[in-house]
Chains A and B, each alone.
Chain A
Amino acid sequence: MALNSSDTAWLLVATALVLVMTPALGFFYGGMVRTKNALNTLMMSFSALGFVGLAWALFGYSIAFGRASQWCGGSEYFLLRGVTLDPQGTIPHVLFFAYQGTFAVITAALISGAIVERMRFGPYVAFITLWSLLVYAPVAHWVWGSGGFLAKLGALDFAGGTVVHINAAAAALVCAIVVGSRKDYARQAMLPQNVPFTLLGAGLLWLGWFGFNAGSALGANRSAALAFTNTMLAPMATLVVWTMLDLMRTKKATAIGAATGIVVGLVAITPAAGFVSPMSAIILGGIAAFPSYFALLYRARTRLDDSLDVVAAHGVGGVVGALLTGVLASKAWNGSTDGSLAQLGVQAIAIGITIAYSAIATLAIVKLIGAVSTLRATPRDEGLGLDFSQHGEEAYSRGEGAILLLDGRNE
């Protein structure tokens, strides 16, 4: 196929939009932790931009989009060999590579929500880097790679509900269990340090998600327009339903609830964005609020310290979205597939395989890293906060009693 300049222009913008989702996620998460862990939580997202992004460039892209088999790509694009200006579809191959790289980064960063406020920074960075190569890249190959077996099976996943959200949530669940709960979990009230950050993060995620979903059409076309509109409508519906649920339960519409509702709506519409009608997107967004809302309430009463509820928001929201895609898909809108019971079954199989592989492979990686280093900060460092113990900085330093050392660390 020949290059198309409209498609290229839109994908250039979309790539930048998706890249901003990772810092946005940092703010979404960073607002919900305690003051002493604010920077560490933000750094868990920001570090993915470097470490996962680079791993993707050197190896991950080839594992995901190489041609070796239906299970896994080959080594033909290692070190970006063969990633040129030649067309991939209607856009330059380098741009396709860059666009896909932003997905790998955000997916790995999503997992951090399950282990904030206690996991050491070094092992965390090692984990997300290995995870992006051994879990994200193969799963991306199954759904989007050439001849991937979930694609052959007919699973519908427009922008990565299964590859990104269900995949990350399964890994998050395993990480939360293996790393263990925070020492203060269920003993003390741990209040969010900056709720406006969380709202800011949710807003920026929504902006970036237009690139994520509408960009997944890989062109400036009707499919992109449909995905764009659905990405606007579904979270609107989720936000309204979520607020209603909040009002019925506590008589107050909470701000963190609103931020969470928006993200759940975005997660849910991700697999469906280019496959369902705008009215269906509203229905899908509204329905998606219920399971996640009650999963959040339930999780908080269990011993599972999935601290920022990656499973309830991305896992439950992702599964609901992926299943409803199988029901609500409309041939009139996507030109290929109608929803059916058989399609629902295919969606369920793809979800099940992804969860199983992600959970098992994540367990192996975390256990491996845990065997060669210590996953958790010491109770003392955890008490002091990870900002100081991991990064030697504070988020809100007032500078009282700070003495300038002119020769670095040597007095």
Chain B
Amino acid sequence: MKLVVAVIRPEKLNDVLEALFHAEVKGLTISRVQGHGGETERVETYRGMTVKMELSEKVRIEIGVSDHFVEPTVNAIMNAARTGDVGDGKIFVLPVEQVYRIRTGETDRAAVTPVGVPPG
């Protein structure tokens, strides 16, 4: 099992969700975050005050998947989130020690397999 963590542009979230659903990745968590990569900073002016915005709005997606699902998941995110400009984000794939499904107590592979799909 792996945990796929992606940090993407907020305006690409809908495209990414669509791509993930097409790739039949059904369980995920998202959060609104702020971050800084290599993108050029944005300069904003409020009356006499000029500020440099070092942090940009991003969305973090976390998806727990079984090993053979890692590649389709990563590809779906990569294709949907890419604009080609600096600031498209990152994808991290992390090893996972254990997973539990709270409702049933299922563990590991069974716990990351969507309901209704035979674990295989």
Whether A associates with B in a native complex is yes
Q: Considering only CB atoms, which chain A residue lies closest to B46 in the complex?
A: A393
A402 touches B85 (CB 8 A): no
Is A87 in the interface zone, CB < 8 Å from B? no
Q: How far is the CB of A62 from chain B (nearest CB, A)?
A: 36
Of B50-58, B68-76, B97-105, which stretch is located at the interface? B50-58
Q: Which residues of A (355-395) have their CB < 8 Å from a CB of B?
A: 380, 383-385, 388, 392-394
Known: A384-B11, A401-B34. A394 touches B52 (CB 8 A): no
Complex Cα distance A394/B57, Å?
Answer: 12
Is B79 in the interface zone, CB < 8 Å from A? no
A392 touches B45 (CB 8 A): yes
Please indicate which of the listed interface residues B9, B12, B43, B85 has the most CB atoms of chain A within 10 Å of its own CB: B43
B51 touches A403 (CB 8 A): yes
Seen from chain B, the residues whose Cβ lies within 8 Å of a Cβ on chain A are 9, 11-12, 14, 34, 36, 42-46, 49-55, 83, 85
Residues of B within 8 A of A187 (CB): 14
Q: How far is the CB of A353 from chain B (nearest CB, A)?
A: 43
Is A404 in the interface zone, CB < 8 Å from B? yes
The proximity string for A residues 196-208 relative to B, scoring 1 for CB distances below 8 Å and 0 otherwise, is: 0000000000000
A402 touches B43 (CB 8 A): no
Residues of B within 8 A of A400 (CB): 34, 55
B11 touches A383 (CB 8 A): yes
A408 touches B50 (CB 8 A): yes
B44 touches A392 (CB 8 A): yes
Lowest 7 CB-CB distances: which A-B pairs, in order?
Answer: A401-B55, A383-B11, A401-B54, A402-B51, A405-B50, A188-B14, A403-B52
Residue from A385, A388, A401, A409 in contact with B50 in the complex, judged by beta carbons closer than 8 Å: A409
A393 touches B44 (CB 8 A): yes
A388 touches B85 (CB 8 A): no
Q: How far is the CB of A51 from chain B (nearest CB, A)?
A: 21
Residues of A within 8 A of B11 (CB): 36, 383-385
Residues of B within 8 A of A189 (CB): 14
Is A397 in the interface zone, CB < 8 Å from B? yes
Question: What number of A-B contacts does a CB cutoff of 8 Å give?
Answer: 50
Main secondary structure, interface of B, reads strand
Residues of A within 8 A of B52 (CB): 402-403, 405, 411
Residues of A within 8 A of B50 (CB): 404-405, 408-409
Complex Cα distance A403/B50, Å?
Answer: 9
Complex Cα distance A397/B46, Å?
Answer: 11
- Listed A/B pairs (21) with beta-carbon separation below 8 Å: A184-B14, A384-B11, A388-B44, A392-B43, A392-B45, A393-B44, A393-B45, A394-B44, A400-B34, A400-B55, A401-B34, A401-B54, A402-B51, A402-B54, A403-B51, A404-B51, A405-B43, A405-B51, A405-B52, A408-B50, A411-B52
Q: How far is the CB of A372 from chain B (nearest CB, A)?
A: 27
Complex Cα distance A187/B18, Å?
Answer: 10
Complex Cα distance A188/B83, Å?
Answer: 17
Question: Apart from A394-B44, A402-B44, A405-B50, what are 17 other A-B pairs with CB-CB below 8 Å?
Answer: A36-B11, A184-B14, A187-B14, A380-B85, A383-B12, A385-B11, A388-B42, A400-B55, A401-B34, A401-B36, A401-B54, A402-B53, A403-B51, A403-B54, A404-B50, A408-B50, A409-B50
Residue from B36, B43, B44 in contact with A397 in the complex, judged by beta carbons closer than 8 Å: B44
Q: How far is the CB of B31 from chain A (nearest CB, A)?
A: 15
Complex Cα distance A409/B85, Å?
Answer: 23
Residues of B within 8 A of A392 (CB): 42-45
Q: How far is the CB of B18 from chain A (nearest CB, A)?
A: 9
Q: Considering only CB atoms, which chain A residue lies closest to B87 in the complex?
A: A384
Complex Cα distance A404/B11, Å?
Answer: 27
Residues of B within 8 A of A394 (CB): 44
Q: Considering only CB atoms, which chain B residue lies closest to A394 in the complex?
A: B44
Complex Cα distance A380/B39, Å?
Answer: 14
Q: How far is the CB of A21 from chain B (nearest CB, A)?
A: 27
A401 touches B53 (CB 8 A): yes
Residues of B within 8 A of A397 (CB): 44
Residues of A within 8 A of B83 (CB): 380, 383
